[in-house]
Amino acid sequence: MLAVRNLEVVYNDVILVLRGVSLDVADGKIVALLGANGAGKTTLLRAISGLLDVHDGEVTKGTVTLDGDPIHRQNPAKIVRLGVKQVLEGRRIFAELSVDENLRTGAHTNGSHLRENLDRVYALFPVLAERHKGTAGYLSGGEQQMLAMGRALMSNPRYLLLDEPSLGLAPLLVRQIRDLIVEINKQGTTVLLVEQNATMALSVAEHGYVMETGKIVMDKPAKELLDDSDIREFYLGLGAEGATKSFRDVKHYKRRKRWLS
């Protein structure tokens, strides 16, 4: 189990971004992490995968543990070897390399099973197999997202951290990515899904966390979150009982959010 306990992260020695975040990702599940811009979702993922250093951030308090062993002081290469892999926001494929080469970089820590992992990824994403010699930069947005996910799967990780896989994709493609996430999970990879598209994330996740300004403000099974009136209003854009509402109620300062969980 991947567990985060009371995590505090500071950027540039002064900016406190996460303030005591706790979160559990149980094996075999899909866990969704929702939140507005700047809530600290990506920072939390960076803290788990060890990429804070690049952004001059550091964990000042709390722990990230994998099966009870702390991993928040490890370097990213070690964490990948332990089976935790992050798909960065915005796809970040190696545009100048071919599709094949992109996938091979993903297998950097697990070169001995290259063939079977490659077959698995191409089976999951047949589009990539068609264009395996092509330059990755010329793929469409959806294909690039698939490539980024496939590249992460090349080391056969136990935990896949997905940062906004639906970013900038058309609704049909979002649905396709969602189905792929379910399929990847079925094949035995635990998924922590960070999303702004709450409908999509909650439709596949079993458990959901909601973050705001560096804290976890809600922690419920996905079904309950979907029924929660605040979530419906602020994340799903539905009024109470789907009624039409006056603009006055939408005004942020009139309608204060109250998290009573």
DSSP-derived secondary structure letter, 97? S
CB of 24 to other proteins, least distance (A): 23
Residue 98: strand pairing partners:
135
The helix (run of H) or strand (run of E) holding residue 199 is helix 198-204
Judged by beta carbon, residue 162 or residue 231, the one nearer other proteins is 162
Would you tell me which residues interact with other proteins (CB under 8 A)?
49-51, 54, 75-77, 79-81, 85-88, 92-97, 101, 104-106, 108-109, 111, 135, 137-140, 151-152, 155
The encoded tokens of residue 138 equal 């010329």
Sheet of strand 69-70, all strands in order from the earlier edge strand to the far edge:
15-25, 2-11, 57-66, 69-70
CB of 248 to other proteins, least distance (A): 44
CB of 13 to other proteins, least distance (A): 14
Judged by beta carbon, residue 114 or residue 217, the one nearer other proteins is 114
CB of 168 to other proteins, least distance (A): 12
Judged by beta carbon, residue 69 or residue 179, the one nearer other proteins is 69
Judged by beta carbon, residue 52 or residue 218, the one nearer other proteins is 52
Q: Are 40 and 20 in contact (CB under 8 A)?
A: no
In the chain, DSSP finds a helix count (H) and a strand count (E) of: 11, 10
Judged by beta carbon, residue 3 or residue 94, the one nearer other proteins is 94
Do the bridges between strand 159-163 and strand 190-195 make them parallel or antiparallel, or are there none, so unpaired?
parallel
3-state helix, strand, coil in the chain (%, to 5): 40, 25, 35
CB of 173 to other proteins, least distance (A): 15
